[in-house]
Structure 1
Amino acid sequence: MSPLFRVLPAALVALAIASPALAMSGPGDKEVVRRNTFGGACAKCELSGRNLRGAEFMGANFAGSALVGADMREARVLASNFAGADLSRVNLSDAEMVGANFAGANLAGARLRGGEAKGVVFAGANLANADLSDVEAMGANFAGANLTNARLKNAALNGVVLTGAEARGSDFSDTALNGANLTGGRFNRASFRDASLNAAVLSHGDFDGADFRDADLNHASLFGADLSQARGLQQDQLDEACGDKSTRLPPGLTVRSCRGPVRVMIRAPRIPAPPAIPAPPAPPVPVARR
């Protein structure tokens, strides 16, 4: 029997077997081919190193599971729970994740390049040294996440929550952060070069050594933010931003006082409904005897 079947609970195995694309060959084979659909519960399962490329996770529960170094490229993760799971060095490039929960998960060194993570919860997750370049993650929640030295270049992060995030040395260059909330985050030496921060909230954040060259800060809220050692800031970038007396800026730069932060409404993506149960076949029609 394949190792995968020994670790999956009955409900999850039954769903996997029902998939016509499942092909497990011999003992020790770690291959799980494309178009598998997983649902049900597999909490604390050991799936490290598995090939789950192109698999579909629909309403599945993998909380606390180990998927270290797993290949999940082009996977679809819809309304599934990976809270507290170990996904360090996992490859989720080009994956589609909608309404998924990765709260407190370990994604250190993970690759999510080119993926979709709309409305995904990464609160408290470890994404240190992760590659999220070109990712689309509108409305995602990174509150309290560790994004140290993470790469988020050219990403679409409009409306994301980065409150209290640890993002030292992270790369947000060419990234859309319109309406994002960076309140209280630590962005020391981070790069926001050519980033769009329209109506973003940077209040009480630490931006020591951060690079804001050619960044768009129109209507950004800078209340209590420490930008005193930020690099690349020009006065014309601050002319349409808002701050207060506690805003710290490089020498010679000023910001106008505003009553309160600009509020922007971002529509969160809709979480997909689980697949419908197939209807039973129609009963046979009796044939009349002559």
Structure 2
Amino acid sequence: MFGSFRTALTRIAPLAASLAVVVVAAPNAAQAWVGDKEVARLVSFGGACAKCELSGRKLTGAQFNGANFAGAALVGSDLREARFYGANFAGADLSRADLSDAEMVGANFGSANLSDAKLRDVQAKGVSFSAANLANADLRDLQAQGANFGRASMSGAQLNDGDLTGANFSKTDARGVSFRDAAMQGAVLSGGRFERASFRDTNLDSAVLSGAMFAGADFRDASLRRTMLYGVDLSKARNLDQDQLDEACADTTTKLPQGLVARGCHGGTARWTGWRPPAPPAAPKAPRPPAEPR
């Protein structure tokens, strides 16, 4: 068994010096050639590889099962279709990395650098991006229900057409971000900076906007049904209309553009008990090493 495991490690020798981590190659990758910054598809990583240097690596389809890559450098790496199951990438540098079509379950990217990264069509339900740098990142079609973006820096990012239902954006710097056509029902934007952000055609039903900044933000055709606007300064927001506000929960503390009036909460008083992040699902077990040949 140990001889077979050593054989599997030999096939990824170009990474051995930089990976202090358990690596198991899938059987169908046995004849893959690894070199010139390439790694066999469907290689799995587990264990610890904190502060590893993996910048520019081709890790397409790789699986990170409960692995600790905290502080690792993966600048510009190819992580398309990668799987992050219970993995820890806190403080990792993934700037300019391509994570398109990746799947993240119970993963932690808190304080990670994802600036200018590609995260299109990523599944990231309940994932933590707390205090992460997502400036100018491409997050279109992101599925991040209940994800935590609290205190993240994401100015200039694109989150068009994403599902951000119940996500936390409290105290987030989202200046100039496009949330166009996104689903943000029940999202929490309290205390965040959303100047010049686009909420065109965005569903903000039951979202909490209290204490956030929206100067220059575009709300054309956004849905604000039972959206909590208490204490929000919308006086410099663009393309708000009275029909939207008639559906929202506003009061005399809500500052509105000239000519618009706060009508209270349509259909009764809104109640909000605070945002609670969902419990992350358990990480799947790492695959077994190849069986010892007979």
TM-score of the pair, normalised by structure 1: 0.89
1:221 is aligned to 2:228: yes
Q: Which runs of 5+ in 1 are unaligned?
A: 282-290
Partner residue in 1 for 2:252: 245
CA contact (8 A) 1:130 1:150 kept: yes
CA contact (8 A) 2:24 2:287 kept: no
Q: After TM superposition, give the deviation of residue 274 of structure 1 in Å.
A: 2.8
CA-to-partner distance for each residue in 1:245-271, whole Å, 9 max, x for gaps? 221110111223456644598883751
Residue 118 of structure 1: SS of its match in structure 2?
coil
CA contact (8 A) 1:242 1:261 kept: no
Q: Distance in 1 between matches of 2:218 and 2:66?
A: 40
Aligned-pair identity in percent equals 55
Q: Distance in 2 between matches of 1:149 and 1:277?
A: 39
Partner residue in 2 for 1:5: 16
Of residues 173, 179, 204 in structure 1, which corresponds to 2:180? 173
Which structure carries more relative contact order (alpha carbon 8 Å, separation 6+)? 2
Residue 148 of structure 1: SS of its match in structure 2?
coil
* Greater mean alpha carbon deviation, residues 251-260 or residues 213-222: 251-260
CA contact (8 A) 1:94 1:114 kept: yes
Cα pair distance change 1:208/1:19, threshold 3 Å: farther
Q: Which runs of 5+ in 2 are unaligned?
A: 1-9
Residue identity matched to 1:82: F
CA-to-partner distance for each residue in 1:177-227, whole Å, 9 max, x for gaps? 000000000000000000000100000100000000000000000111111
Aligned residues: 277
CA contact (8 A) 2:25 2:42 kept: no
Of residues 86, 98, 107 in structure 2, which corresponds to 1:100? 107
Partner residue in 2 for 1:141: 148
Residue identity matched to 2:62: A
Q: Distance in 2 between matches of 1:177 and 1:219?
A: 13
1:16 is aligned to 2:24: yes
Q: After TM superposition, give the deviation of residue 22 of structure 1 in Å.
A: 6.0
Q: After TM superposition, give the deviation of residue 273 of structure 1 in Å.
A: 3.2
CA-to-partner distance for each residue in 1:84-124, whole Å, 9 max, x for gaps? 00000010001001111000000000000011111110000
* Greater mean alpha carbon deviation, residues 45-54 or residues 236-245: 236-245
Residue 68 of structure 1: SS of its match in structure 2?
coil
CA contact (8 A) 2:105 2:283 kept: no
Q: After TM superposition, give the deviation of residue 143 of structure 1 in Å.
A: 0.2
Residue 17 of structure 2: SS of its match in structure 1?
helix
